[in-house]
Structure 1
Amino acid sequence: MGIMIDSARFAELGSSKNSEPILDFLQDPKSEAKAKQTLEAAKKQIGDSREKNPKGVFNLDKVTVLPPISRPTKIICMGGNFSDHLQEGSTSLPPFPISFLKSPTSLVGHRAPIFYPRRVKLLDYEVELAAVIGVRCKDVSRKSALNHIAGFSVFNDISARDIQFAEMKRGFCNLGKNFASFAPMGPFLVTPDQAGNPDNLGMELRVNGQTRQFSSTKNMVFKMRQLVEFFSSMTLEPGDIITSGTPSGVAIYRQPDKTPFLLQPGDMIESKIENLGRLQNTVVAETSPVKTAF
């Protein structure tokens, strides 16, 4: 775990015996002061040192980047929360936030492969804003909702549309959203003071350099503070993730032919949100045998 010095380098914040060190960090009342101290020390070390790689300072391109949160107790994903996405799907405005749960085991980080399951035929992308809860909370007010967020990150809600839509005909949404690697997230967790207004952040997703989604969080039907208020009807734990839903431009609703826009093995996906960085993942064909129950 580290703190970014600039867009390319980070300073190590220290190790933890916990398998989820960021949770230790979020729950430590002295964490902010420790982070600032580490950052200033790293900057000074870089300035004073003639070495290209001072101790405790690492290049982001030289390390494996894990998702900011590896094992949240829950990932709450919004469905149909952007006005333009509702329009392209010919879906009516929901009376309250409609959601589904995504499995923590589907999380992967920046540059990790997205595995194309052998039984899937229609693979799709969805760039989303992810908010990470920082403190245990329940029944929070809309006014104070953002105070319970530790930070924001880029999220890609990968979807197996053939399985998802078959499930939805029976009123469910589960496996189509929950295959391994179907929740890329990262590359960073950006604190609220650095992220800017979560209600007005530019969003873009590209596949092989071609823009597929281009929008803003200002088009969200239910804003992030409303989502935190609503979903805190459940007890929210530190590290829990709430995502925004996605804007228009997904492959499945492309006209007249969705086929050229569906993801294929070898595709490189770049998911970007203003102030939060660029999440990059490549689609890879699943090679292990699959025993299907269908």
Structure 2
Amino acid sequence: MLVVGLTGGIATGKSTVSSILAAPPHNIPIIDADLIARQVLDPGTPAYKEVLSHFGPSILLPPSSSSSSASSSSEPLPIDRAALGQRVFNSESDRKVLNSIVHPAVRKEMAWQVLKCYLRGEWVVVVDVPLLIETGLWKWVGRTVVVYVSEQIQLQRLLARPPIPPNPPLTREQALSRINSQIPLPQKLPYADHIIDNSSPLPTVSQSITHLVRSWRRESESFPGWWWCWVCPPLGLFRAAWVLAGRGKRVERRRKNTRGGGASGKRREQEEEVELKVMGGGRRERD
């Protein structure tokens, strides 16, 4: 089974790409790390208790903003995710604490869901992880897809998002703070096996995704074949180890090329720009 990591940056349209992959004719199972992260912070969970212990009750929704069932004094109040987000986006130390609490729980649930897809006989599964690069999870997927737009488009889309009641719309400074809390998108490109330019019209993006899925299908049908790996788990583990080892070497070569200075470094940057425009979601072939 091919495990694909889907990532990008805030407001790059990663959810749009994910929804296209999940819909017919592709019908690819999606494991959404954001959704899991919300679930692991549900009232009463171990992660909820740890977060509340560190950040205090100021990050909780007031009783009037909660559902009638949660407003009872006998039940814990939900976390105000906007307030928590505002705090961690403006404090690297708080962000590290939150990640140290949430990420292990998310990884555990993601691994379990990947296993369930494998047991169902799926030929591919996409794990949608905003911090795929930052957390090092790119090392554990067979292919990495980066959804790319310019920072200007990121900012425009983020400012256009409707606020989560009762919070006001984001200011420009708040939006930039959220963008800057993540690795800049150009620095994620060396990790990408595929790049989707999501500044293109939706039909163009959809067509790029179709070509991309076809390339995954061809890859999965190559020797030893995904169904052999399903029948013989040791063979699947061997193939996975072989794929991951090869990916690590390719990523390191790309990063060295990107860091290269002088004319060669500038030439590589120009090649990346041209590659991004012409690929539209296609697979890198030079590496």
Q: TM-score range by the shorter chain?
A: under 0.3
> Given the two structures, how large is their TM-score scaled by the length of structure 1?
0.23
Structure of higher CA gyration radius: 2
Q: Which has the higher helix share?
A: 2
Q: Which has the higher strand share?
A: 1
Relative contact order, higher structure (CA 8 A, sep 6+): 2
